[in-house]
Amino acid sequence: MSYCAHATFFHFMRTQLRKIALLAVRSFLIIGVASPWVSAATFELPPAESRIVRRIQQHEVAAGETLANIAKQYDIGFLSLMAANKGVDPFLPAEGYVLSIPSRLILPDTPRKGIVINLAELRLYYFEPEKNQVHVFPVGIGRIGRDTPEMITKISQKRPNPTWTPPNSIREEYREKGIELPQVVPAGPENPLGDYALRLAYGAGDYLIHGTNKDFGIGLRVSSGCIRMEPKDIEWLFEQVQRGEQVTIINEPIKVSLEPDRSVFVEAHEPLTRSDGSKKLLQIPVELKWWLQDADIPSAKAKAVIFAQNGVPVEITPPMIEF
C-alpha cells in the first residue's frame, strides 16, 4: 500500500472508529455473548407479586476504561449503560467521571428460600427473607460431560479446611494426563476445594459447594460437577448457612416477570451445551406464552430478547396506566 493510501486509510479509520466500534458492540450483544458476573450483590427483596430486583450503583471511571468493559464488570448491557449516562463518550469516558450503573435482574421462578443456583446464569442466590434480602454470587459449574445436575436437596455437612479424596473417575482423568493424584489431598493451598465446603445430600453426597485455590473458573463451566465459588464468597456463605438448609439447582435460561403495574420483563441467557455439543432447547415459560397471546404484548420484541440472550432484563411492555 502506498504512503498516500496508508494515510487515507488511517484518516478514514480515525473518523469512523466510533461508528465501527459501536456496530461491533451491538453485534456482540445481538449474538448473545453474556458478560460474566464478577461481583456479589445484595438486593432488597421485591414484594411477592414482583420478581424484579434493583440496586443503585455508581462507578468512577479509571484511566483506559470504556463503557463496554465497565458494562461487563457489572453484568449489564452496553446500551443500557449508555442510556443511563447520556452524553458520555462510550469509548473515551473522562477519567474520574462517576457513572450511574443500571443494575437490575429477574429472580428465578422458585420459592425464596435457602440457596438457589441457576445453572444457565452461573449465579447462586442466597435468600434471607427474615432480612428481606437476597445475595447474588457468581459461580463455576460442571464442565461439558460432567454437568451439574438439577436438584432439590439440602446441606448435609459443613467442612472448614476440607480434605479432598479424588474419586476414581477423576484419578483416571489425571492419569491420562500423566499425573498421579494422591489418595487424599490435605487441606492447604494445594487443595482445589479451597478453605470451605458445603456437602449436598443429593445422591451419594458427591456434590459440593466449595471454594477454590485457582484464580480462574468462576463464571465458567470448568468443574467436575461441583459448584465453585470465590474464596471470599464461600467464606461469607459458609458462616450464614446451617446444616439442613435447602438447596435448589435449576436450569432456567429464560426468566420472565409480570410486574404489579402490568409491565412485562424478559431476561434470556444462552442455554447450556450438552455433552454431545448440542444446545439445550429453550423452553418458553408458560406464563410468557399466555401473555404473548394477548394482542397488547409485542411478540416480536420478546422473541428478539430471547434471541439476543444477553442476560439483561428487558421491558417488552410498558406499565399499564389506569385512569
Known catalytic residues are 210, 226
Residue 222, Cβ density class (10 Å: 0-12 exposed, 13-18 middle, ≥19 buried): middle
DSSP string, 196-224: EEEEE-STTS--EEE--SSS--TTSEEES
Which residues partner with 55 through β-bridges?
103
Check: CB of residue 93 under 8 Å from CB of residue 104: no
Question: What is the C-alpha separation between 103 and 92, in angstroms, rounded?
Answer: 22
Cell numbers representing residue 106 in the block: 429477574
| Dihedral angle over CA of 93, 28, 16, 2, nearest 10 | 120
Which of 114, 118, 136 lies closest to 54 in space, CA to CA? Answer: 136
Question: What is the C-alpha separation between 102 and 54, in angstroms, rounded?
Answer: 8
Question: What is the C-alpha separation between 279 and 264, in angstroms, rounded?
Answer: 26
Which residues partner with 257 through β-bridges?
265
Question: What is the C-alpha separation between 261 and 153, in angstroms, rounded?
Answer: 35
Check: CB of residue 35 under 8 Å from CB of residue 103: no
Cell numbers representing residue 47 in the block: 414484594
Question: What is the C-alpha separation between 147 and 126, in angstroms, rounded?
Answer: 22
Give the number of other CB atoms < 10 A from CB of residue 118: 23
Check: CB of residue 172 under 8 Å from CB of residue 74: no
